Amino acid sequence: MDRKLVKATFAGGCFWCMQPPFQQVKGVVEVVAGYAGGTKENPSYEEVSSGTTGHLESVQVTYDPEKVSYEKLLDVFWTQIDPTDPEGQFADKGSQYKTAIFYHDEEQKRIAEDSKKKLDGSGKFQKSVATEIRPFMNFYPAEEYHQNYARKKPREYQHYKTYSGREAFIGKVWGTAEKVRIYSTPGCHNCHEIKEFLTSKKEEFEEVDLATDEDARTMIIEKTGHLGAPIVQIGDEFIFGYDPKKMERLLHQ
């Protein structure tokens, strides 16, 4: 029997930064970057960026409700944004960068409203939560070069996430662990041990193939002056080879 998959749609500012967090969630099948909530059919990035189409940069998440709940997806969403900013997100201001939850049915609406109310009353923020909860109207996938930007252009993505202020805000407000990446090559020595170690610690990680990702190779050489596999990146720190003690220290500092 085929799985019954469900869609959820979120606007959290720059969609480059909203794809990876959802892609790491078990039970999520697909995350597409695109444009939602506006009046223009099949808008281009340039049209949406002008702020005249009514669309918000968004991600549409396809997930298996038997493996992950809508509540869990909302938790991921809230911890990736500044929900109190009514003008946009971090360095990006304008209507196209506002935050919103687009509900696909009444059950999603109820859960989203309860989640927002809970966050608003938590005392986490001094300002009120400005994120809108809106009925889903439409979603148009963004151009291919915007899809999976963090994987295609890891150096540019990390630069943007850092210097836009998003990364520092998330770390300060939520105290979330730094993102973990394993840079590997086919048949790399110790990669299996590293993945087993991180899994045993319940740490989510992204694996990048250095054999095919030229941008990742360039970024590592620029930051460390060396290149080899495996390499583990935790935040701004790089670990060459399998070093469980150093990984443990960086994961919990």
For residue range 147-201, what is the model confidence (pLDDT) as tens digits?
Answer: 999 989 988 998 899 889 998 899 888 875 567 889 999 989 899 999 999 999 8
pTM assigned to the model = 0.71
Least confident of 98-107, 124-133, 216-225: 216-225
Residue 37 confidence (pLDDT) above 90: yes
Tell me which long-range contacts 187-196 makes (C-beta under 8 A, separation of at least 24): 188/229, 188/230, 189/229, 189/230, 190/230, 190/241, 190/242, 191/229, 191/230, 193/242, 194/230, 194/232, 194/242, 194/247
Q: What tens digit of pLDDT does each residue of 43-77 get?
A: 999 999 999 999 999 999 999 999 999 999 999 99
Neighbouring CB atoms inside 10 A of 83's CB total: 23
Residue 1 confidence (pLDDT) above 50: no
Measure the CA–CA gap between 35 and 54, rounded to whole angstroms: 9
Q: What tens digit of pLDDT does each residue of 191-238 get?
A: 999 999 999 988 888 898 999 888 788 888 888 888 888 999 987 789
State the catalytic residues. Answer: 14
